[in-house]
Amino acid sequence: MAAQSTPATRMQVPLLDLKAQYSRLREQIIPRVVDVLDSQFLVNGPAVRELEAQVAAASGCVEGVGTSSGTDALLLALMAMGIGQGDEVITTPYTFFATAGSIWRVGARPVFVDIDPVTFNLDASAVEAAVTDRTRAIMPVHLFGQMADMNTIMDVARRRDLKVIEDAAQAITAEFQGQRAGAMGTAGCFSFYPSKNLAGAGDGGMVVTQDADLAEHMRTLRNHGDSGQPRYFHREVGGNFRLDTLQAVYLQVKLGHLGEWNAARRENAALYDRLLADVDEVVVPAILDGNVSTFNQYVIRVPRRDELQAFLGEQGVGSAVYYPLGLHQQECFQELGYAAGDFPETERATRESLALPIFPELTEEQIGYVAEQIKAFFDRSS
């Protein structure tokens, strides 16, 4: 084993550093939060409606409906479209649990289609073969910040009369051929969970849509089906899926910086791409022509992923596996009848993918250090 590329200084590079972002905005955030507390307008305060309009505009959409989480945004969209028992929704098994969990929770059946190994997104060319007479919707996920092939998906949806719910939890303001995440589907769902690009002070989410009637229906359903005309009369059963006023003001401050943060993530990604180009074992993320990724995650493919992850941890570098098990193999979905081997590209991705630190405040030195450690790992073992 040759003694090579031993870095001079050991660094700490966390996967995510939320304090770096917060400390720079603290002076702007605190007075807004205090204003809300002083007003005691804690639910449905004016900032909620303002944020809805701002996020809708930033997404090229007509309406935004704030929700208590990204998961509840998905649930609310499904409920408002009347999707439930006996219905099927086509989606990817390589995603965060909430995607299929929300479909299951409304009583519908998640029907999985494997991913495109280049982008990790739903293989749009395989969607139509999965359509049956029970299919009501397609739920593509814009994984890691790159939008799925929305042209193909929308084409199938139009011809087969299906709704499209974009799970854009990781992709707020991402672009596909000039269109923003959430703008092409029937509805698009965002998450403001603290690890997302537009990070709240806890849980929050939003549904955006071009359909004003759908938005109105969602506003009623997020408030137990109470349209307020008059109050306490319910034509249908909804839930409590509201976004807090405190979250809205916090997010308003952050929204003003989202563009610059996403640009910084893309610059960080470009630097990793250059530094890792000569490491044969590493496949860097592919962003297809016409796509602008928000790089919620920078996910590489490598052999001996678990060993590399352990090595990086020893060197002070945080990383994560998104995701270690395809949803078709989750215990809670056993009755769907899927088995190991059904989605080979998903299963390969669960073994090979590793997310590296990509948050906007990373320094070039930190990115250089991470790349150096990855090189050292493969040099050492080759």
Residues that bind ligand PLP (CB under 6 A): 69-71, 95-96, 98-99, 141, 167, 169-170, 191, 193, 203, 205
Spatial distance between the Cα atoms of 305 and 324, rounded to a whole number of angstroms: 11
Q: Give the strands of the sheet with 88-91, arranged side by side.
A: 63-67, 205-209, 187-191, 163-167, 135-139, 88-91, 109-112
Q: What's the min distance (Å) between Cβ of 356 and ligand PLP?
A: 17
In the block, tokens 């770096």 appear at 20
Nearer to ligand PLP, 166 or 226 (CB): 166
Nearer to ligand PLP, 70 or 93 (CB): 70
Nearer to ligand PLP, 60 or 145 (CB): 145
Nearer to ligand PLP, 139 or 284 (CB): 139
Q: What's the min distance (Å) between Cβ of 99 and ligand PLP?
A: 5
Nearer to ligand PLP, 140 or 357 (CB): 140
Q: What's the min distance (Å) between Cβ of 13 and ligand PLP?
A: 22
- Looking at the DSSP bridge assignments, the partners of residue 187 are 165
Spatial distance between the Cα atoms of 94 and 346, rounded to a whole number of angstroms: 6
Q: What's the min distance (Å) between Cβ of 251 and ligand PLP?
A: 12
Q: What's the min distance (Å) between Cβ of 93 and ligand PLP?
A: 12
How many CA atoms are closer than 13 Å to the CA of 220, on its beta-carbon side?
22
Spatial distance between the Cα atoms of 139 and 201, rounded to a whole number of angstroms: 27
Instruction: Kindly give, in sequence order, each residue whose CB lies less than 8 Å from that of residue 333, ignoring residues fewer than 6 positions away.
Output: 100, 104, 110, 327
Nearer to ligand PLP, 186 or 373 (CB): 186
Q: What's the min distance (Å) between Cβ of 192 and ligand PLP?
A: 7
Spatial distance between the Cα atoms of 286 and 370, rounded to a whole number of angstroms: 19
Q: What's the min distance (Å) between Cβ of 228 and ligand PLP?
A: 26
Nearer to ligand PLP, 56 or 122 (CB): 122
Spatial distance between the Cα atoms of 111 and 136, rounded to a whole number of angstroms: 11
Which residue number has the CB closest to ligand PLP? 70
Burial of 331 by CB count in 10 Å (0-12 exposed, 13-18 middle, 19+ buried)? exposed
Nearest to 223 by CA among 96, 52, 67: 67
Q: Pairing relation of β-strands 135-139 and 88-91?
A: parallel
